[in-house]
Structure 1
Amino acid sequence: MLLAIDIGNSNIAFGIYSDRWKRHWRLNTVADKTADEYEVLFRSLLNSVQQDPAEISQVVVSSVVPPLTSTFVSMIRSVFSVEPLIVNGQTNTGIKVSIDNPLEIGSDLLANAVAGYHKYQDKCIVVDFGTALSITIVGVGGVLLGGSIAPGLKTSMKALTSNTAQLPFVQLEVPNSAIGKNTVHAIQSGMVLGYIGLVESLIKRIKAELGEDAKVIATGGLSEVIAPHTQEFDALEPWHTLEGLRLIAEKNAN
């Protein structure tokens, strides 16, 4: 049985796989939480679904929060008594990375590329709606060609409201009209509809540079907010990164 963990700047997503995904969870990331504190959380969540930690024989981890990487290694050793696979630019993923410095690529982007190519066996674009908006482009033959990064939707909202005296933080919902009749709707128009425009524009430019069409996958915590309001996505896969980690773990099982 496999446990896959994706440690992001805002959320920690993890799931248990055995022939199929049995369960997924998403926690808020707290960078200064200790291994003991995360151990309590994990044991409690596993206990809530009657999952014996001793049945977990393999753990794979992606982390873009360096202080938490060692914390989770300690927690995993204590709870599951296994040595986790920590995915990085040197891990055997089965795909070629064609960027200036392959070692600097985020482990979450590697996992997204692996899962995207596995799903379509062809060119694909993975749009990950997290703390940052990260777009990963996979070309013919499963070659990771590069990507695009912008502030995430929540990050942009925090920047707007924390740097303006009279603008409130609002729910990230799609308004009925682009013409806001009050402050809340005006912010939702600019932030949410404007963000959709940003994503659509990037996808179209990437496809133009590829010179041909490509399948587009939406993933990440806010993908379910954005994806239903644009025609650019071929698939909505909220747990796509965990699937990529599973495939990487499978490739490195020995």
Structure 2
Amino acid sequence: MHLAVDVGNTDAVFGLYDTDTWRFVWRTPARPDEAAGSYEARLRLWLLEANLPLSAVQDTVLSSVVPNLTPTLRAMLGDLFGHEPVVVGPGVYPLLPLNILRPHEIGADLVANALAAYTRYQRNCIVVDFGTALTFTTVSGDGQILGVAIAPGLKTAIRSLFSNTAQLPEVPIQVPESALGLSTTHAIQAGIVLGYEGLVRSLIDRIRTELNGDCIAVATGGLSGQIPSLRDVFVDVIPSLTLDGVRLIGETVRAQKQP
């Protein structure tokens, strides 16, 4: 089995892949100040509950956009499974079938999204990732990352209102029945959830215009299904796409390094 770990600003996701499917996907908060032992204890417990020995994990790959957590989890994975994980970053990008824009600036998760989309579709594609940030990563059919657009994610926008205003509550992410909010909760949902529908459609249209219309779009991320009215924009909604990309990076790097 192959273990892929994707560490974002909100959650760390651990996925076990075997026989062309994700057998298990576990999610835990990503806390930079947490000791490696806490993550190890959780991973051991998940494997125990799945009735899997440590030896079932043949190789590991780590993608992280939280610099303080990267060495912690890298060491933990190496110690636990007895082999050094592949770490997604500029050091391995030359081994990938991608031409990566500004390799020392682009997030590892965006590279994973681009590789997964390129491998799956082999054509111009926008990956819209609904996470802590809302990101639009565009990859061409010949494997060039053409550019990225970044906006605050849905939860980030709502929490920003909640944290920076005295009287506005934190509200659930739900599509309201009307853009005319008749309560504070519905007003925030109208402004942010419906507003983000327009943002997503507008940016995808702008990118397609710049590429002369030849571009599909795919959605991923934990919140990718929160705005059902956007479903017609995407050829696919694949919550595991980032994990797929992390796994593919690990496979590609290991194949390139084999004698």
Q: Do the structures match in fold with TM over 0.5?
A: yes
How far is the alpha carbon of 1:118 from its aligned partner? 0.9
Match of 1:106 in 2: 107
Distance 2:141 2:244 in 1: 20
How far is the alpha carbon of 1:250 from its aligned partner? 1.2
Matched ranges for 1:199-238 at <5 A: 199-226=200-227, 228-230=228-230, 231-238=232-239
Instruction: Tell me whether 1:158 sits opposite 2:159 in the alignment.
Output: yes
Match of 2:96 in 1: 93
Distance 2:132 2:225 in 1: 15
Match of 1:186 in 2: 187
SS at structure 2 position matched to 1:247 = helix
How far is the alpha carbon of 1:103 from its aligned partner? 2.3
Asked if 2 retains the 8 angstrom alpha-carbon contact of 1:2 and 1:59, the reply is yes
Match of 2:72 in 1: 71
Distance 1:129 1:220 in 2: 5
Count of aligned residue pairs for this structure pair:
251
Match of 1:46 in 2: 47
**Length-normalised TM-score, structure 1:** 0.96
Asked if 1 retains the 8 angstrom alpha-carbon contact of 2:218 and 2:237, the reply is yes
Amino acid at match of 1:58: D
**Length-normalised TM-score, structure 2:** 0.94
Match of 1:146 in 2: 147
Distance 2:61 2:103 in 1: 20
Match of 1:126 in 2: 127
Distance 1:122 1:64 in 2: 27
How far is the alpha carbon of 1:119 from its aligned partner? 0.9
Q: Extract structure 1 runs of 4+ deviating beyond 4 A.
A: none
Amino acid at match of 2:28: L
Match of 1:195 in 2: 196
Distance 1:187 1:140 in 2: 39
Deviations 1:148-187 (A, max 9, x none): 0111111111111111111111101111111111111111
Identity rate, percent: 47
Distance 1:126 1:10 in 2: 19
Amino acid at match of 1:86: V
Distance 2:55 2:80 in 1: 8
Amino acid at match of 2:247: R
Asked if 2 retains the 8 angstrom alpha-carbon contact of 1:89 and 1:104, the reply is no
SS at structure 2 position matched to 1:104 = coil
Unaligned regions of 5+ residues in structure 2, if any?
none
Asked if 2 retains the 8 angstrom alpha-carbon contact of 1:218 and 1:238, the reply is yes
Distance 2:103 2:249 in 1: 17
SS at structure 1 position matched to 2:146 = strand
How far is the alpha carbon of 1:232 from its aligned partner? 1.1
Amino acid at match of 1:8: G
How far is the alpha carbon of 1:13 from its aligned partner? 1.4
Judge which range, 36-45 or 49-58, deviates more.
Answer: 49-58
Asked if 2 retains the 8 angstrom alpha-carbon contact of 1:90 and 1:103, the reply is no
Asked if 1 retains the 8 angstrom alpha-carbon contact of 2:118 and 2:141, the reply is no
Amino acid at match of 1:36: G
